[in-house]
Chains A and B, each alone.
Chain A
């Protein structure tokens, strides 16, 4: 799915540490969602209420419903254990603003106890204008509104009814009210400086030709991103569209519509349509670790946890500043940045020693399923391909199979064992290049003096190696300098 940035001035700073919006931030920062708002006040033809809100997450997954108190406790626990957490979102299963008491009770407690965590909300927009002021009282700087159309007749094919002013309203009349409220809410938020992202579900034969118009209007009313998502309508989900045989768009159709909406704007492409109670870095869901049972028993010191988060963020930002000229590869120093004045962290020292010993040439192990592109994460890799890189040329020297640990198992002991094995296999390499590397693995690699490098999935090996090489030369000194600048500022 693709995201399109409407205006980059000022927006960049606001999304800098938001893993869902900033293409680079998702390598560094984590987000979580809590399901506190089950009720909904409209019906979408692509939704089955047995499951979560399909505006935000895939149907078929039912989130664990939390009371506001439980949600607050869970968020504080996660923020203590995963200090990269910057964002808490409330989305499905229902509509957060159809459950204002529960949503705002959660936001109010977090605004007080973890003022550094940004709050996000996703809504169908029906009740948005009524709640804009209350939303702005909290640490909100992003709101997502799902707007599938700006035409009531098209809307009538998507929304059979809404609940409005204590009665059910149907058809085009209902859609007209919904659209009016959505656009009014968008304008009110934009006026108050809140970033608004618009999600649209692409429904072939219904709004495919209309989404360019939606894009134009929402941009004009101040939205900063338009995210076009493909309809998911499997018959087994039991949605109206699923049962009626409404087809989903092909990848080609989706791409064409995204292009038709793109105008001259930047395209981003890392949204993963996360499940509604995902926790952690994008692509590495850790929600299983935070069961209610476990959270109830934890003693959290929110103040100490916040201090830890502030420290980590300063480190990440210092390293990111140093790396700002490297848009694709993520800085290896982002998580363990050298301390100014004392010659750097142990990892950086090892890194420098290796750098000195192999100034012009270095060895990279990488994860590729087909030998053409970087397309596997550390936990998926089956064969490590080792390349020797000298100046402009790179050469495949060896392939090293990783033993048959089942890659679909991501429980900790297995993942840990895999990391241990990979490290053993590439002890002689200077860097490891793959699509995703977990936080712990990242730190372990750095301790061994192996640079963890993460590349966009699908990046050709040649391109990745060329960038890695350029990166390799400019990195260490620059990072140390920028880090000391940032820390003394």
Chain B
């Protein structure tokens, strides 16, 4: 089972050069992971490289289909406190 890229991908190229298996392919409408090649970085890195640099929450799914970077994990703002944070930032 391999990692997978969803339609949320914005084609930013960050993941492509990092994959030790050259499993990430620049493609239209968005980047894809070749399931035959992806090893989940097993034996090479502690973390899947593509998902560790991807800037988009939800763009990369782990082999179980769960987002590696779920909502709130990259902005550092959990969805529940989004409104509060906005108020704080707007007051600047």
Contact = CB atoms under 8 A, between A and B. Distances in A.
A246 interface: yes
A166 B45 CA distance: 7
B49 interface: yes
Contacts of A240: 75
A272 to B, nearest CB: 26
Interface in B11-64: 11-14, 16-17, 45-47, 49, 52-53, 55-56
Contact of A39 (B17, B45, B47): B17
Given A43-B74, A49-B55, A205 B14 contact: no
A94 B46 contact: no
Nearest to A208: B92
Given A40-B12, A247-B92, A163 B74 contact: no
A244 B14 contact: no
Chain A interface size range: 20 to 34
B86 A245 contact: yes
Nearest to B69: A168
A49 B12 CA distance: 6
B contacts with A: majority SS? loop
B89 A38 contact: no
Interface residues of B, number: 24
A240 B76 CA distance: 11
Interface string A146-186: 00000000000000110100111011000000000000000
Contact of B12 (A94, A160, A166): A94
Given A39-B16, A206-B92, A245-B86, A163 B56 contact: no
B66 interface: no
Contact of B74 (A94, A101, A160): A160
Contact of A50 (B12, B53, B75): B12
B52 A160 contact: no
A246 B88 CA distance: 9
A41 interface: yes
A127 to B, nearest CB: 12
B92 A204 contact: yes
A49 B75 contact: no
B10 interface: yes
Interface of A: 38-41, 43, 49-50, 94, 98-99, 101, 160-161, 163, 166-168, 170-171, 204-206, 240-241, 244-247
Given A39-B17, A41-B14, 12 more contacts: A38-B13, A40-B12, A49-B55, A50-B10, A99-B17, A160-B74, A166-B47, A170-B76, A241-B89, A244-B85, A245-B90, A246-B90
27 contacts: A38-B12, A38-B13, A39-B16, A40-B12, A41-B53, A43-B74, A49-B14, A49-B55, A50-B10, A50-B12, A94-B12, A101-B17, A160-B75, A160-B76, A163-B14, A163-B53, A166-B45, A166-B52, A167-B46, A167-B52, A168-B47, A171-B76, A240-B75, A244-B85, A244-B86, A244-B89, A246-B92
Interface of B: 10-14, 16-17, 45-47, 49, 52-53, 55-56, 74-76, 85-86, 89-92
